[in-house]
Amino acid sequence: MEWISLIVGFGLGLIASIWTSIVWERLDRIYNKPVRNFVDIRNRITSALVMYARCHAAPGFVPTDGSPILDQEHLQAAQQYRALSSELFAIIHAIPQKPKLNWWSRFSPAWHWSHYKVTQTNRDLPDRTRLLEAQRSLMGLSNSMFLPAGVKDDKREQAERNLESAKSITNALGIEDMN
């Protein structure tokens, strides 16, 4: 009889450990992985903003005769900002949101809990609207690396707009001021 209780105890322990492992992996995928991805993309955005600061402070010119763009640094900066913007957009949508509930679900004691709010509270993630603002500003910065050739008067205004976009990105992502 002891061996039966030993086998049952071993089986229950094995089932409990498998169940705990599955639940832990699920919670890690829901709560921790998006946060790790966000921290990684924020670090890469910070690095790109510092590396290409000269490019958005002095936009390049696009040749009007159809010849290729000679300023490869501005072109590379525009491509890097666009890639980071699309990665940030994907990460924003990977962060769990509050599920849409039916009217009868509101009587449940936990109907108001949101995965995103729990994640945001525990890990100090910026608000979703601020993340989307940073994504749009990053895409706008990517689109404003060049001016049409011959438009020298707008270069200073474009540089100021680019610097303002960079500042809004750092504010929205919670990056400390980079002077």
pTM more than 0.85: no
């474009």: which residue's tokens?
Answer: 158
Is residue 63 within 8 A of residue 69, CB to CB? The reply is: yes
Half-sphere exposure of 11 (CA within 13 A, CB side): 6
Give every CB contact of residue 76 below 8 A, 6+ residues apart in sequence: 52
pLDDT in tens, the chain (179 residues): 677 777 777 777 888 888 888 888 877 777 777 778 888 999 999 999 999 988 888 877 766 666 666 678 888 988 999 999 999 999 888 776 655 555 555 555 554 444 445 555 545 678 888 889 999 999 998 888 877 666 666 777 888 888 888 888 888 888 876 65
Q: Where are the domains of the chain?
A: 34-98+110-173
